Structure 1
Amino acid sequence: MRKIKEQYTMNNNRRKFLQVSALLGAGAFLPTGLVSAAESFAKLKKFGIQLYSVKEDMAKDAAGTMRKLAGFGYKQFEGFDGGKGILWGMSPAECKDLLKDTGVDFISSHANVFKDLDAQAEQAAEVGMKYLICPYIGAQKTVDDWKKIADRFNDAGKTLKKHGLKFAYHNHAYTFEKLDGQLPQDILMNNTDPKLVDFELDMYWAYVAGFDPLAYVAKFPGRFTLCHVKDAEAAGSDAHDRGVLLGKGEIPYVDIIKQSKKYGMEYFVVEQERFVNTNPLEAAERNASYLSNLSL
């Protein structure tokens, strides 16, 4: 993991050196105001949050919680079925009114994609979602089992296509653990139809499994259109227990976010599952502040 971080640091330092050199060279010919503007790097204009990050607050007051998140600067929501359906008990009309009032897009939802998919897709499409996402499938015993899972993903993708949506799969660490010499994530990538199936890369799970998230996105350009952005502290005894606030860990998100866009990444979705000296809403606000002030 140290090698991954060192490589990022070396590449990023070189890139910054070239950028600063170019700015200094141009500075001799630019007015002071223009030099200052040139030194300001681009910002991430839109980013989202997986509502599971504030699941207790959502259970108490879904609409009120979503309004608070919008106030923090989130422009996109990714939902989950917390027992009240993917719209949290709201009708599509009520949900659309809320989205209009807050200026937020409901881009996707984690869902049980193998049950009542048509009904869920109708609701999702009505509020403008683009994806329904399988959040967990569990480790499989054989390579053939993983190929069968890929077939199920293709079938789900066909169903969602009829509703104008697309299917995506969200990984955990187990798809990055080799089985009979093969990587389950590779099996899924190679046995699903790109026209029907996209992927949501959980950067954290790929990273703690020992993989460079950016390198994996680059390996399959155009397949990862969404990602979960969450940070990891230095290696501990339990991969499930390394989550920290964005900017407090060792995952180099400045470079990852900037470079992954070149390979088709469109949606950057915050997810926080571990809370140290903070609560879910405070963590959501601090993570939004981090992304809002990120210079890319």
Structure 2
Amino acid sequence: MQRRKFLKMSAAAAGLSQLALLRCSSEAAQSNYPFGIQLYSLRADMPADPDGVLQQLAQFGYRQIQSYEGPSGMFWGHSPESFGRYVRDLGMDPVASHCSIEEDFERKANEAAEAGMQYLICPLIGAQASLDDYRRFADRFNRCGEICREAGLRFAYHNHHYTFFELNGEIPHDVLMQNTDPELVDFELDIFWLVAAGQDPLTWIRKYPGRFAFSHVKDRLPNMPADSFTASTTLGQGVIDYPGILPVAYEHGMRFFMVEQESYAGTTPLESAQDNAVYMRQFEYT
């Protein structure tokens, strides 16, 4: 693993068109591994001006986009194909989207493939009453994985805190991981929620090498309730040791590092997105 300084665009690019400037500045800002952002972090801004927000994210140096189902779906007023093309023209990759698996999942998979995405991700299932309920969700995830595979995608599940609290002598997240087919189902490790449950990220990353394809990289304020969304803070301002976690995660197969922030104090979502991009530039992998 080597550390390199990021290249920066010179002001000589001012003669380029705005779109070309955005693309070039984004390419110049990237490291050997690109980091991305979950658009839910910009949920206050995306509905009003999704194209403008995406342009700013490209300027900040984000190279990957993870969408979610907003008021106009996963594609923000675009068709699937035009959304993918627009994001790529900005120098970013629309790698994935969160979406509900409760309805029209096959259609969503086909549209995500049309947009050029690699993954669809279930964002939550809620706390379940029994381990058998979690096993049933594992079976459902396998079926979603089959649908995604037929569309040319992969499927993943994104955790919250509740799957990491013991239930009847077992950790539900173990149940989900041990009852899903690795050929069909990956996982997105939301490190914030894992820490909220009092768990050690490195223990889980090492326990299941290759299963956590994605992470949500978001920092956590100390001494907050486990279910608190307002515990989310700008990277580097909380208690999570990302310099100690992310290199190990990469070594164990994690390849998508998605910034997410859910609460803002004394700043705006876009300002935090810019600050988070600066923080993420310290991590480079060969």
| TM norm structure 1 | 0.84
**Structure 1 Cα separation of the partners of residues 88 and 214 of structure 2:** 23
Are residue 282 (structure 1) and residue 257 (structure 2) matched?
A: no
2:171 is matched with which residue: 183, 188, 205?
183
Q: Distance in 2 between matches of 1:47 and 1:40?
A: 15
Equivalent position of 1:144 in the other structure: 132
Q: Which residue of 2 aligns with 1:157?
A: 145
1:22 aligns with none
Deviations 1:229-263 (A, max 9, x none): 00112223464132111011111101211111111
Determine the structure 2 residue equivalent to 1:100: 88
Deviation at 1:271, TM superposition (A): 0.3
Look up the equivalent residue of 1:246 and give its one-letter code.
L
Counterpart in the other structure of 1:261:
250
Query: Which protein has the larger Cα radius of gyration, Structure 1 or Structure 2?
Result: 1
- Structure 2 equivalent of residue 79 of structure 1: 67
Aligned pairs, how many? 260
Counterpart AA for 1:279: T
Structure 1 unaligned residues grouped into runs of 5+ = 1-18, 20-37
Residues in 2 aligned to 1:197 and 1:238: alpha-carbon distance in whole angstroms:
26
Residues 214 and 259, structure 1, Cα contact 8 Å, conserved in 2: yes
Match runs of 1:18-29 below 5 Å: none
In structure 2, do the counterparts of structure 1 residues 155 and 237 end up closer, same or farther at CA, with 3 Å as the change threshold?
closer
Secondary structure in 2 matching 1:247: coil
Secondary structure of 2:246 counterpart:
helix
Structure 2, unaligned runs of 5 or more: 7-30
Q: Check the 8 A contact 1:173/1:209 in 2, yes or no.
A: yes
Go from structure 1 to structure 2 and tell me whether the alpha carbon gap of 1:231 and 1:44 turns closer, same or farther (over 3 Å shift): farther
Q: Distance in 1 between matches of 2:148 and 2:225?
A: 40
Matching residue's letter, 2:267: T
Whole-Å Cα distance in 1 between the matches of residues 138 and 225 of structure 2?
Answer: 32
Structure having the larger proportion of residues in helix: 1
| C-alpha distance in structure 1 between counterparts of 2:102 and 2:168, whole Å | 27
In 1: Cα distance, 2:75 partner to 2:113 partner: 11
Partner of 1:194: 182
> How far is 1:99 from its partner?
1.9
1:122 is matched with 110
Change (3 A) 1:203 1:44: farther
Partner Cα separation in structure 2 for residue 41 and residue 210 of structure 1: 34
CA-CA distance at 1:92 after TM superposition: 2.5
The corresponding residue for 1:26 is: none
The percent identity for this pair of structures is 45
Moved over 4 A (4+): 38-44
Question: What CA distance in whole angstroms lies between the structure 1 residues aligned with 2:35 and 2:264?
Answer: 20
Cα deviation 1:49-87 (Å, max 9, x = unaligned)? 000000121110111111111111000000000121111
Q: d(CA) in 2 for partners of 1:96 and 1:295?
A: 26
Counterpart of 2:15 in structure 1 is none
C-alpha contact (below 8 Å) 1:143/1:180 kept by paired residues = yes
Cα distance in 1 for residues equivalent to 2:121 and 2:278:
26
